[in-house]
């Protein structure tokens, strides 16, 4: 994908965020992307709890692998190669090594926290032993790399010296750069974890 196309998609995210009321923005501070691709995720957000845990926030439809018309992705004939349940990858640094770990978005892994995130389902993912969570990628149900949702962890612990760059992970969509995400954060409302790039995924 051309850099200009990536910038266009990032500014669309910014416009969506600017349309949210100030009170809502304050209430959602600490989340990543506030909504997902219309063709893939109904909602895909990330609340990074430092670098040892991330809460991936989705919708009931995403949890049940349903599209906006309440049809199951893997039963649709017009979108080949659909995979259910939906999946995300958590980018984990173990020393200088980067690992993309699969997380299945299904009822078995989900929970809710009453009064948080509009009671939306969330999946908690933890690491230990000095590992760090640097970001998350939401994979398209159809495998379309242009619909991958990427959210970097912008907490200070993810940017300490000797921590590898999240942008070097194999699962970060092609065409997404640190400069593009930082530009989106600078021009839009300042929120921890904000930033979603969609490029050619891997």
Looking at residue 146, its pLDDT comes to 64
Please check the confidence at residue 195 and state whether its pLDDT lies above 80: no
Please check the confidence at residue 199 and state whether its pLDDT lies above 80: no
Let me know if residue 69 belongs to a domain: yes
Let me know if residue 195 belongs to a domain: no
Query: How large is the average pLDDT for residues 177-188?
Result: 53
- Tell me which residue of 51, 68, 66 sits closest to 105, measured CA to CA: 66
Let me know if residue 199 belongs to a domain: no
Residue-range definition of the domain harbouring residue 56: 3-186
User: Higher-confidence residue: 106 or 196?
Assistant: 106
Let me know if residue 200 belongs to a domain: no
Let me know if residue 117 belongs to a domain: yes
Looking at residue 41, its pLDDT comes to 86
The distance from CA 109 to its chain's CA centroid, rounded to whole angstroms, is 17
Query: How large is the average pLDDT for residues 78-101?
Result: 91
Let me know if residue 202 belongs to a domain: no
| Confidence band, pLDDT 50/70/90 cuts, at residue 162 | very high
Please check the confidence at residue 6 and state whether its pLDDT lies above 80: no
Looking at residue 120, its pLDDT comes to 96
Number of structural domains in the chain: 1
What is the token pair recorded at 1?
Answer: 């994908």
Report pLDDT digits (tens) over 96-136: 999 999 999 999 999 999 999 999 999 999 999 899 999 99
Instruction: Give the sheet arrangement for strand 149-152, strand by strand.
Output: 97-105, 86-94, 132-138, 149-152
Report pLDDT digits (tens) over 44-82: 999 999 999 999 999 999 999 998 889 998 888 877 788
Let me know if residue 192 belongs to a domain: no
Looking at residue 182, its pLDDT comes to 57
Question: Facing residues of 136 across strands?
Answer: 90, 151
Secondary structure (3-state) at 6? helix
Report pLDDT digits (tens) over 135-158: 999 998 876 666 789 999 999 999
Burial per residue of 169-181, b for 16 or more beta-carbon CB atoms within 10 angstroms, e otherwise: bebbbebbeeebb
Report pLDDT digits (tens) over 10-34: 433 333 333 332 223 223 333 433 3
């Amino acid at each position: 994908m051309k850099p200009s196309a990536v910038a266009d998609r990032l500014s669309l995210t910014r416009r969506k965020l600017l349309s949210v009321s100030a009170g809502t923005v304050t209430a959602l501070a600490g989340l990543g992307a506030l909504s997902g691709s219309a063709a893939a995720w109904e909602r895909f957000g990330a609340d990074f709890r430092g670098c040892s845990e991330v809460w991936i926030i989705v919708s009931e439809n995403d949890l049940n692998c349903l599209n906006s018309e309440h049809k199951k992705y893997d039963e649709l004939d017009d979108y080949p190669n659909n995979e259910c349940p939906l999946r995300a990858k958590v980018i984990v640094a173990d020393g200088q090594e980067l690992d993309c770990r699969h997380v299945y978005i299904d009822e078995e892994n989900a929970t809710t926290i009453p009064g948080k995130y509009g009671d939306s389902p969330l999946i908690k993912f933890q690491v230990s032993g000095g590992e760090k969570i640097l970001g998350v990628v939401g994979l398209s149900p159809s495998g379309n790399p242009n619909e991958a949702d990427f959210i970097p962890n912008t907490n200070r612990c993810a940017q300490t010296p000797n921590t590898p760059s999240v942008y070097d992970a194999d699962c970060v969509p092609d065409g997404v750069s640190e400069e593009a995400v930082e530009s989106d954060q600078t021009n839009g409302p300042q929120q921890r974890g904000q930033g979603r790039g969609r490029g050619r995924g891997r």
